[in-house]
């Protein structure tokens, strides 16, 4: 089998390298943005409530606390007099459900627990 030699000038070669480098940079940047957006699911100010929910779920599910966010992600919803933290399972990460813990936002006192969709 005979392969035809590519007739490419050095200038064209440099242009091709630049085009591929730009393409690579675009893909890298897109992934980096996507990753950072995906991981921001709550405001930093909600961290104390999320910590309380993780503590409670760790006991309820007999699961090490630092392992929980491997399988779940926190979602915070604010109501008039309480703030609720749901811990849904990341799709495909595990079988199970979504525990919901609600707190008084001022005292951080637990006001409600809903495990009816917790699996």
116: left (phi over 0), alpha (psi -120 to 50) or beta: alpha
Number of Cβ within 10 Å of residue 44's Cβ equals: 7
> In what side-by-side order are the strands of the sheet with 100-103?
75-78, 83-86, 100-103, 110-114
Site map (CB under 8 A) of other proteins, residues 11-50, x = contact: ----------------------------------------
Counting contacts by CB under 8 A, is residue 97 touching other proteins?
A: yes
The residue among 40 and 95 lying less far from other proteins, judged by its C-beta, is: 95
Q: How many residues bind other proteins (CB under 8 A)?
A: 21
Residues 6+ apart with CB under 8 A from 100: 84, 85, 86, 87, 112, 113, 114, 115, 117
Residue 8 Cβ, how far from other proteins at the closest point, in Å? 44
68: tokens are 């929980």
Residue 42 Cβ, how far from other proteins at the closest point, in Å? 19
Counting contacts by CB under 8 A, is residue 99 touching other proteins?
A: yes
Site map (CB under 8 A) of other proteins, residues 63-92, x = contact: x-------x----------------xx-xx
Q: Which residues bind other proteins (CB under 8 A)?
A: 60-63, 71, 88-89, 91-99, 115-119
């Amino acid at each position: 089998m005979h392969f035809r030699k590519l007739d490419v000038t050095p200038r064209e070669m440099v242009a091709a390298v630049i085009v591929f480098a730009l393409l690579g940079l675009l893909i890298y940047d897109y992934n980096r943005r996507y990753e950072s957006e995906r991981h921001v699911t709550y405001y930093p100010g909600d961290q104390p409530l999320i910590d309380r929910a993780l503590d409670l779920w760790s006991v309820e599910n007999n699961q090490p606390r630092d392992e929980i966010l491997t399988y779940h992600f926190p979602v915070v919803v604010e109501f008039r007099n309480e703030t609720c933290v749901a811990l849904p399972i990341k799709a495909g990460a595990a079988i199970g459900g979504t525990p919901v813990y609600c707190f008084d936002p001022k005292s951080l006192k637990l006001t409600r627990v809903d495990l009816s969709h917790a699996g």
